[in-house]
Every structure is written in C-alpha cells, then in structure tokens.
C-alpha cells in the first residue's frame, strides 16, 4: 500500500477506460487533495460521474471508494505541511456547518481508537507506572497540552513525578539527564511528530528506563523505543491536529491508575480539599434552588 | 428539579410501598452514590428487585429509571468533592474494562454536546474574535490545557493575542488590567469552576470587553458575564474532569476561525514551515517504502 | 525605634525651637517622604536652613542627620505601597544620572550584605542542601527570577530538585504537599513579602523539612520557620525591589555547593557539553583574531 | 591582543631567561588556568619565584602582572566550557571564604560596569522603549531570569509588552514572527551566548524593529544587530555566570523608564494595590511595636 498505491495506479493505466485514466491521473498528481474528496467531488473535478469513480475504486482492487479514500489518507499521514493542510480543508470540511462536522469527526476518531487500542499494552503501562521509581512525562508542541493534563492529575497521585518541558532556561535533555533503570518515561507525540520528542525517547530507552509511548500508530517514529504503545487516532482536522481521542485515552489512563491507588488518593483529596478551600480555588456550589 | 427532587421524594413517602420507601430513603441520604448506580445495583443496595426500582422511577414522575438517574446526576454536578468522586467511581466505572468505558463515555459527551450546542452563539463568537483588537484567553487548573491548546493555534493566526496565565511572578488580574472595549476575552472553565476564572470574567465584562465563555452549561457561574456561551459536556469520569468534548468544540472554533483567515494563515504557514525546517522542529517524513 | 521614633518626636515638641517644631511636624506627617530627603531638601520643604535640620537630628538623640534618615528608612521598610514609592522616588533618585545612582546603591547593598551575612548559617545551609533527600525552591512575584536562577544551576548538580512555582494549573501547596523530614525547602522572599511564600514556609516547617530562608533580615515574616537564615539587603530603588545583593548571595551559594560536588559536576558538564553541542545551544567562540 | 598574545609569547621564547621560558610554556599550554592564578601561584606551578613572574609580565610588554592576567582572562572569555570552568575554580575562588569572595567580585563587576556603560545609549534606549508600538523582551538560559525580572516590572508600566520565551509548545521564532518597524526588541544575552538569542536578534533587526541589546561588551555576537547596546560585566564566578551587574543595570532601566511614565504608573499602582489586597498577594505590615 501507500507509496506503492500510486505506483500501482500508474501501472494499471493501460487497462483503464478513458474516464478512469482521468481519475488515475488526478489521484497520482493530487493525492493530497483527492484523499479528502468524496466520490462525487472527485468525479466533478475530472469530469466523470460519481459512479465512474466508484467503479474505478473496485477496478484497482478496493472494496469500495471509502476504502480507496482511506488508503490515500494513510498515504499522506504526516506528509502534508500545514500550508497544504489549509488547501485541502475546504474539500474536507467546507465552510458551512463546521461545528457539527468537527464534532462528528472527533466521535469517529474515538470510536476507531476504541477498536484498535491494545488492552494488554494498556494494562502493562498501568503496572509499569505504579512500579516506577520516577515518572517523567514529555509533550512538545500541541502535545504539550496533553502532557500538562496528564501531569495535572498524576501530580495528585504521585510524588515521584516530573513534567519535562522545554523552557527559555532549560533544554529537554537537561531534564532527563539523570533518568535511568527503574524510571518510567511517557512521551506523548502525534503527527507532525516533534523531533525533540523522538530524540528524547531514543535517549530514554538507552538509559534503561521503561518507555510508554502515547502516539498515533505502530508506525510512529517513537515506536521502536517503546516498551508499551498506547495508540489513539489523531488525524488532522484541517490544519488542526485533533487531540480529542488521545485526550480520551489519557482520561482512561488516569482513571485506571487512580483506581489502583484509590486509598491514597482518597486521603490526598481530603487534604487537598482543605487547601483548596483555604485558598478559595474553586467556586462554592450555590444553595441549589434552581 | 434538583434540590426539589429530594424534597419531592421525601414528601411522597406516604404514598410509597415499603420497598419504594427503602429506595427513597437511600436516594435521599446517598444521592451522590445513587446517581451512578444502575437500577439493578440500587435494588441490590436496598434489598429490592430491579423492577421495583424501575417502577419507583415512574411512580415519582420520571419516564423511566435513566431519566431519574440523569436528574440525580444533574443534582450533584459540581457538588461533589474530589474525595467523594473517588467513592462513586467504582459504581460508575468499575475496575475492569476501564479503557473501553471511558472512551464510550467520551463519545457520548461529544454527541450530547453536538445536540445541545448553539450554532448562533458559535457564529457570533467567530465574528467577534475576527473583529477583536486584542484577544485574551484564560484557563485555570485542568482547563489550562485547553487554553494552551487554543493559544497554540490562535498564535499562528493572530498577532494581537495573549494567554492569561497565573505564574509565580504574575497574578491573573495584572495581566488583564489593561483590557477594554474592543477586546475579546475567552475564559474556559468547567466544574469544579475555578474561582479566579469567575472573578476574572466578571472583571472583563466590567471593562466593556466582549466575553466568549467556553463552559459546560447556561448555569455556569460565568454565564451572566458572557456575550456568547459555547457549551460542551464535561461531566466527570471518576475523579477526572473529562475535557474531551470541550476540546472537540475548541477544534471546531479554531477551524472555523482559520477558514475565515485562510489566505493569511496559508502565507504564515509557508513562512513557519521554513522556520520549523531550520530549527528541526518536526521529524521529516521518511521515504515511504513501507 | 521605628514607630516609637515618631511618638518620641511628637513628645519632644515642647522642648523644640520654632524651626525644629516645623521639622518635627513634617517628619511625623510625611515620614515616608522625609526618609529619602537630604537635610537640605528637608530644610527647604519646611522653610528652615540645612544646619537647623542637622541640629534637630542631634537634638532628638541621633549621631548626625544620616542616622536619623536611616532610622526613618527602617521605619518604612515594607510599609510603603508601590504608589507611595513612586512618590518618594524623585527625592531619592531624581531624574538625572539615574544609571550611576542605581549602580552605586546596588554596590552599597552588596557591601552591607557582606558585612552582615552570617557565615555559620551559610555553611550550615550548604551542608543541609548536600544532605537533602529532596530539595524544593520557592520564589513568588519578583523573587521568582531568583528562584529560577538558583534552579537553573542546581538542576545541573542535583537530581532530587523541584522548583515550586505557581501556574495556571497548579497551586503552590499542591506541589509541596508530599514534603517531609529529610527534605530541604528554600523559600526566597523579600519585601513586600508574598503572602503565599510565608504560608508555604510555615507549612514546610510543619512537615519536618529543613528550611533555609533567603530573605532580607531576621525580622522577615518567614524567619520564625527557618532553620538557617541567609540575609541580603533588598531595599527598594524607587518602585523597584533591588534583588542585586540577593542574587550575589545566591551566586555564592551555588559556588559553595558546587565546590563540594566538584567531581560529579565536572562529569555532568562534560556530558552536557555534548548535548549543548548537538542542539546548538551556545554560540561557538569565533577563531579569535580580534 | 587575545589570540595574538599566545603567539607573541611563543615568539619571544628566544629572548627569555630559562625561568621565563618555563612561565611562557606554562601560559601557552594552560592559559585557561594561568588566567586565574596569582603571580605567586603561577611561580609555584612552574618552580620560579613570584618576582620572576612579575618581571616576565613587564618583559613581554605589560604594565605589571595584573594586566597580563586581565589579558589572559579576556582571551578566554566565552571560550571555556563549563567543565573547564570547574577546573579553574579552585585557583580563582578556593574553598574557604567563598561567600565574601563572591560578594567582592560582584561589587567589582558593578563598579566596572559603572565605569564603562554608555550613558547616551542608555538614554536612547529609554526613549525608544517609551515610543515603541510593541515591546518584546527575550532571555534564554540563565538570562531568562533577567528577562523575567524586567518583564515583571515593565508589565506594570506597559500594555504593549511581550515576554518571548521558549516553551514546550512554542518556538522563539513563532513568537517574534509578527514583529516589525515601530516595535522594540530587547534581547538579553551574556557569555556563553545562547545561539537562539543571536539568531532571534538577527531576525528582529531584519524586520526593521529597534533593537536594544543588554549584553556584556561591544564584541558580543548580538552587537552588530543592535541600535543601542547596554553593556554590563558578567564574568563568570567559577562555573556560574554572575548576572549581578546586568541585574543592577536592568534596575536602572526600569527606574529610568518608570520616572518618565510616573503619572500613569502611580495610577496603575493605586489600582493594583486594591487587586493585591483583594487577593492577599502581599503580607500586611505588622503594627510596628518592635
């Protein structure tokens, strides 16, 4: 698949009808746009009918047009620059009803994550986290938000926790310099993968730390350095990387870890409740007379 | 509803059968647990059958047990301390299959958000953001992750943007001190609402700024100070506030704003692409020969 | 002294000449300005000669006008609001030659710090830091800069180090919640003392941690909770709190700790040098052919 | 001077006495240590008397040994790695009396800064800052502390202010991407100069912004891109870069700018005082009955 798909389409040229050849030509030259077009739009773009496009998909070996489209989307995962993403946006999302479309796409991403996530990796990750001497969490670029969220809750559960974060003062590598065997490193990275995250994960593995990667697939560049992989669908919405499914996965990780440390957390939260009250952190619920 | 629900249940005591009275008594005294029990579990807890529980729900005026349960959950929204949340966790989530349950609950939250979100408020918010002199984003506690994410993308679109963030050096109020008419303030807050977020929103409104609240409902304490309300379901998963639906809503907001500034962003991303390349920010896609 | 000084001046009224009474009246009512006036300016303000002011100082028991002035300045340490500080600025600094005046005042502050700092406390602090299980550093408001600087260098020396910092996500107390016996807590606070710093120091002491306070004097509100006090002069320059002498003291602390861990740091820096080179952190020195 | 110094010493070999040749050989091969040795120590290291070392200095053209030593120190400014710095520490500071030595060195640095700083540049910088459309402050690595401090006070004075800071989410360049003519950029960088600071300064200049460099000398790598240079001595104390003189210079800059905006700041501080009071930011002064 993938690259081969384009080669294959080119190679089949001789066997295709004239209309199908137009489709093939368009796909090979504009696959980054074709990947987000419906059969109807693709047909319109090259001047053939929707059904010609659908037959074309079967002709070249796919079980329907949606499968062909999915294959094209896989092909360009992580290959588009942000500027190219802007270009394909109108094909994918359009300008009307953006809100409903984005929410639907995000639901679909969580659903596909639920289908594909590996429960054994998830359990093994929970065990490793509970056994860790020191836990390091890393998220760069848009994944920094996910890392902050995970850190926020883990900080209520664990003493031995560090959020590795780039700052004006400090480089990522200086913060993981002391890492070693017995520690757990949790890198969070999604396409377009941050280069520093990959380098840091490679380094972490070399220190003997247990690495739990939260990423998008087995093909992620951090995969070779991970002891456990937790994968969530992050496909882009237009120029935005949707991190909704990864966030849902992280929710599950926090809950699963929390359930295992229930007793301690219960105690911690009773103490924190007093601190929060003293510092007026949260709004007090109103006498409910709504 | 809500508080009245408990009063009503108490008041009906005389009309109830003995088994129903046991249920009523349990609900009134343990509503924070009952809210997360199935009919079967609630029955088991008080020693009556599941069908008795279901009939009880109809008896007191609900169209089925799930409606009663929903009402109880509404009643305690934002009322449970974190420690109480830990207690109800096992009723709601249990200890097995946590991953699938959390993902399903998050899908359900986005679905309910899609049903209830107000498209006019959404459009008005997009317009106001595009017209703003200065845009301020605020998120405290776990909502800080959402604010960071929104800031990350808006920073590629707008020059006149500020992330208001508490820090060791600076108080939230010092950062919004100069706000005024023509500016847009975007507070993001979900139960348990951060008190500083509410105060800051009240202040922002008083300066004449246009306020776009991203929160959980019309009953949110920031609602009275907002010109536009964008609501997403954030109900807790165990002790974790799920911010998955809010994040999906924010995705939509970024895409919608981005579509309107398409031309400029396209240009910005072409420039940034060079910067990212020079600084090795992103991993380069491998020659795809998978 | 201090408050009593004003009472005393008032009480002496009967024994004073007419010109001296004018001075006394001015000081009692405008001590926050008088504290920063030369004898000549004070005389001009009330319409008497400079020598009358000088004699007044002796009359009420001071060994010269500068001593009286110093006493007045002590009186108002930490009592002036920032707005009042702006008012007294022109008396103290004037509008010309600000640069030289500020540098001279800062030299004077380090000199007085050198005279007054307690070398035994300093040594004891170094020992405690080297023995610590976990080291926590805290600095709020303008002291956050000092805390960041200390953290920057200690981070190259110690693995077991935490910078406690307020952020949108996290309260100071949540970050020191796990502190205990065997740990070292280093609060840095100068007038106007941050209230959270004082509270956190009180809490730290209660956990059994060893507390090393970096502050301005034995009268600092954190003093009662400190095992070792390292004091540096921070008196205000106009509305700015000068933290130059505290920074110099912190330099000394880093060097003293570093000398004791020389071997390990040498090794660390050899490793970091490679990391810095790989990531192009520092400019490479030019072939020096200047 | 500098590199030529070593060449020159080598070249003179033929004219030197045997003892002087030993000194010359030592200096050429260990200049990074010799630079921090007294005449006596250097003599002891090569087995000659202190007076031989002193005569050697005159012989090769210096007006006394301290001048030779200063020249050697200039030679290695910014050339030593941190590991080498650790090595020379004991020669420079020793292990006893570290506290007093560091404070004295810092006083000396401010004194030399006062002698060498350019008052016209300082005035011009103040004017430019007051005229700026947008003010950007940048400090990376240990200079981040200085940038934070400057930002803390400028934030009370200016609305149009941005602290440019590297973070997990954001690259420095993304934050200065919108800079242009009419804006002021204030990079703060000291040896070992951060590479990103230099690059960012080069970029800022190219946008037409007015650049005010706070650095250590006219030879700083940011100097070519600066409209005004404010120089302060930052020579290292052992492995620590002392930023005491730069901080004193920044104090002066804040005071000078503040004096010019006196009226507005006075008003701002009156407002902030209420905010600080409401949020219990500062400890309230005790009734002074000491």
Nearest-neighbour CA in chain B from C89: distance (Å): 23
**More confident of the two residues C118 and D240:** C118
% of chain B with per-residue pLDDT over 70: 89
Does C82 sit within 8 Å of D272, measured CB to CB? Answer: yes
**pLDDT averages per 10-residue partition of chain C, 290 residues:** 70 85 88 86 93 92 89 72 67 77 92 92 97 96 93 90 82 87 96 90 95 94 97 78 94 93 84 80 57
**Of the residues D55, D76, D97, which one is the last residue of a structural domain?**
D76
Residue-wise pLDDT for D19-37, tens only, equals: 999 999 898 888 878 888 8
Q: Are residues B239 and B191 in the same domain?
A: yes
Query: Contact C287/D134 with Cβ under 8 angstroms?
Result: no
Q: What is the pLDDT of residue B290?
A: 32
Q: Are residues A79 and A123 in the same domain?
A: no
Q: What is the pLDDT of residue A270?
A: 82
Identify whether C106 is part of a domain.
no
Q: What are phi and psi of D286, to 5 degrees?
A: -75, 150
Q: Are residues A136 and A217 in the same domain?
A: yes
**More confident of the two residues B143 and D276:** B143
User: Mean pLDDT across the stretch D144-166?
Assistant: 91
Query: Contact A154/A254 with Cβ under 8 angstroms?
Result: yes
Give C51-119 as a 3 state SS string: HHHHHHHHHCCCCCHHHHHHHHHHHHCCCCCHHHHHHHHHHHCCCCCHHHHHHHHHHHHHHHHHHHCCH
Identify whether D30 is part of a domain.
yes
Does B167 sit within 8 Å of C141, measured CB to CB? Answer: no
Chains with 3+ CB–CB pairs under 8 A to B are A, C, D
Does C166 sit within 8 Å of B166, measured CB to CB? Answer: yes
User: Mean pLDDT across the stretch A39-66?
Assistant: 92
Q: Give the alpha-carbon dihedral of B27, B28, B33, B35, to 10 degrees.
A: 60
pLDDT-derived band at A41, boundaries 50, 70, 90: very high
Chains with 3+ CB–CB pairs under 8 A to C are A, B, D
Does A169 sit within 8 Å of C148, measured CB to CB? Answer: yes
Q: What is the pLDDT of residue A184?
A: 98
B142 CB neighbours in chain C (<8 A) are 169
Identify whether B132 is part of a domain.
yes
Does C262 sit within 8 Å of D240, measured CB to CB? Answer: no
User: Mean pLDDT across the stretch A259-266?
Assistant: 85
Q: Are residues B139 and B267 in the same domain?
A: yes
Q: Are residues B43 and B151 in the same domain?
A: no
Nearest by CB to residue B174, choosing from D155, D171, D178, is: D155
Q: Are residues C153 and C273 in the same domain?
A: yes
Chain A residues with at least one Cβ partner in C under 8 Å: 148, 151-152, 155-156, 159, 169-171, 173-175, 177-178, 268, 271-272, 275-276, 279, 281
For chains B and D, CB pairs below 8 A equal 42
Chains with 3+ CB–CB pairs under 8 A to D are A, B, C
D170 CB neighbours in chain B (<8 A) are 152, 155
Q: Are residues C43 and C124 in the same domain?
A: no
Least confidently predicted of A161-165, A230-234, D78-82, D259-263: D78-82
Number of domains in chain D: 2
Q: What is the pLDDT of residue A136?
A: 97
**Rg value, chain D, Cα:** 23
Nearest by CB to residue D169, choosing from A144, A168, A169, is: A144
CATH of the domain at C274: 3.40.50.10490
**Of the residues D54, D76, D98, which one is the last residue of a structural domain?**
D76
Q: Are residues B156 and B233 in the same domain?
A: yes
CATH of the domain at A75: 1.10.10.10
Q: Are residues A133 and A274 in the same domain?
A: yes
pTM of the model: 0.80
A145 CB neighbours in chain D (<8 A) are 169
Q: How far is CA B266 from CA A81, A83, A88, B126, B257, in A?
A: 10, 5, 11, 19, 13
If you average pLDDT over each of A100-109, A232-241, A264-273, B67-76, which comes out highest?
A: A100-109
Q: Are residues C161 and C207 in the same domain?
A: yes
Does A175 sit within 8 Å of C152, measured CB to CB? Answer: no
Does C281 sit within 8 Å of A171, measured CB to CB? Answer: yes
D275 CB neighbours in chain B (<8 A) are 171, 173-174, 177
Identify whether C84 is part of a domain.
no
Please give the Cα distance from D121 to D229 (Å, whole number).
6
Query: Contact B72/B34 with Cβ under 8 angstroms?
Result: yes
Please give the Cα distance from B225 to B53 (Å, whole number).
42
Q: Which of C151, C173, C282 to mutate to test the interface with A (most CBs of A within 10 A)?
A: C173
Residue B187 domain boundaries: 114-278
Identify whether B95 is part of a domain.
no
Identify the burial level of B224 via C-beta atoms within 10 angstroms of its C-beta, where 0-12 means exposed, 13-18 middle and 19 or more buried: exposed
% of chain B with per-residue pLDDT over 90: 50
Does B168 sit within 8 Å of C168, measured CB to CB? Answer: no
Average pLDDT, chain D: 86
If you average pLDDT over each of B163-167, B284-288, D254-258, which comes out highest?
A: D254-258
Q: What is the pLDDT of residue C289?
A: 34
Q: Are residues C162 and C43 in the same domain?
A: no
Q: What DSSP string describes chain B?
A: -THHHHHHHHHGGGGS-HHHHHHHHHHHHHHHHHTT--HHHHHHHHT--HHHHHHHHHHTT-SSHHHHHHHHHHHHTTTS-HHHHHHHHHHHT-SSSHHHHHHHHHHHHHHHHHHH--HHHHHHHHHHHHH-SSEEEEE-TTHHHHHHHHHHHHHHH-SSEEEE--BSS--HHHHHTT--TT-EEEEE--SS-BHHHHHHHHHHHHTT-EEEEEES-TTSTTGGG-SEEEE----EETTEE--HHHHHHHHHHHHHHHHHTHHHHHHHHHHHHHHHHHTT-BPPPPP---
Identify whether B131 is part of a domain.
yes
Identify whether B208 is part of a domain.
yes
Query: Contact C219/D283 with Cβ under 8 angstroms?
Result: no
* B83: nearest Cα among A260, A283, A266: A266
Q: What is the pLDDT of residue C285?
A: 61
Q: Are residues D206 and D134 in the same domain?
A: yes
Q: How far is CA A19 from CA A55, B195, C111, in A?
A: 11, 63, 88
Q: What is the pLDDT of residue D213?
A: 98
Order across the sheet with A228-231: list the strands. A161-164, A135-139, A184-188, A210-215, A228-231
Identify whether D206 is part of a domain.
yes
Please give the Cα distance from C64 to D5 (Å, whole number).
54
Q: Which of D168, D173, D174, D195 to mutate to test the interface with A (most CBs of A within 10 A)?
A: D168
Does B177 sit within 8 Å of D268, measured CB to CB? Answer: yes
User: Mean pLDDT across the stretch D260-264?
Assistant: 86
C167 CB neighbours in chain B (<8 A) are 144, 165-168
Angle at B109 between CA B105 and CA B114, to 5 degrees: 150
């Amino acid at each position: 698949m993938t690259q081969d798909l384009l080669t294959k389409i080119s190679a089949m040229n001789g066997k295709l009808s004239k209309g199908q050849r137009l489709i093939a030509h368009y796909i090979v030259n504009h696959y980054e746009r074709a990947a987000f077009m419906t059969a109807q739009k693709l047909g319109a773009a090259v001047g053939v009918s929707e059904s010609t496009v659908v037959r074309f998909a079967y002709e070249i070996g796919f079980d329907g047009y949606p499968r062909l489209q999915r294959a094209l989307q896989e092909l360009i995962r992580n290959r588009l620059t942000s500027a190219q993403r802007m270009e394909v946006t109108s094909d994918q999302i359009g300008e009307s009803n953006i809100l409903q479309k984005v929410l639907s796409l995000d639901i679909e991403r969580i659903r596909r994550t639920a289908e594909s996530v590996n429960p054994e990796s998830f359990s093994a990750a929970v065990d490793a986290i509970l056994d860790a001497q020191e836990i390091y969490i890393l998220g760069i670029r848009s994944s920094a938000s996910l890392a902050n969220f995970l850190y926020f809750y883990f900080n209520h559960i664990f003493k031995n926790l560090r959020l590795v974060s780039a700052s004006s003062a400090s480089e990522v590598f200086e913060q993981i310099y002391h890492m070693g065997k017995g520690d757990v490193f949790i890198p969070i990275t999604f396409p377009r993968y941050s280069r520093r995250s990959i380098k840091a994960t490679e380094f972490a593995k070399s220190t003997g730390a247990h690495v739990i990667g939260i990423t998008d697939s087995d093909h992620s560049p951090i995969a070779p350095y991970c002891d456990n992989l937790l994968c969530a669908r992050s496909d882009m919405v237009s120029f935005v990387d949707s991190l909704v499914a990864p966030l849902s996965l992280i929710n599950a990780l926090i809950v699963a870890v929390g359930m295992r440390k229930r007793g301690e957390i219960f105690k911690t939260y009773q103490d924190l409740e007093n601190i929060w009250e003293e510092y007026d952190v949260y709004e007090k619920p109103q006498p409910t007379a709504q």
